[in-house]
Amino acid sequence: RQYPAKIRALISDLKSTESCVKSIVFSFWKSSLDLIKMALTKTEVGINCLQIDGTVPNKSRPDILNQFQTGRNYKVLLLSLSCGAVGLNPTAASRVYLMEPQWNPAIEEQALARVHRMGQTREVTTVRFVINNTIEKFVLDLQEKKRDFSSILFSGKGGPGLRQVTRERLENLRSLLR
**pLDDT of 23-47, one tens digit each?**
999 999 999 999 999 999 987 789 9
Q: Tell whether the model's pLDDT for residue 128 goes beyond 70.
A: yes
Q: How far is CA 52 from CA 34, 119, 123, 146, 157, in A?
A: 10, 21, 23, 29, 42
Confidence of residue 106 (pLDDT cuts 50, 70, 90): confident
pTM of the model: 0.78
Max Cα-Cα span within the chain: 59
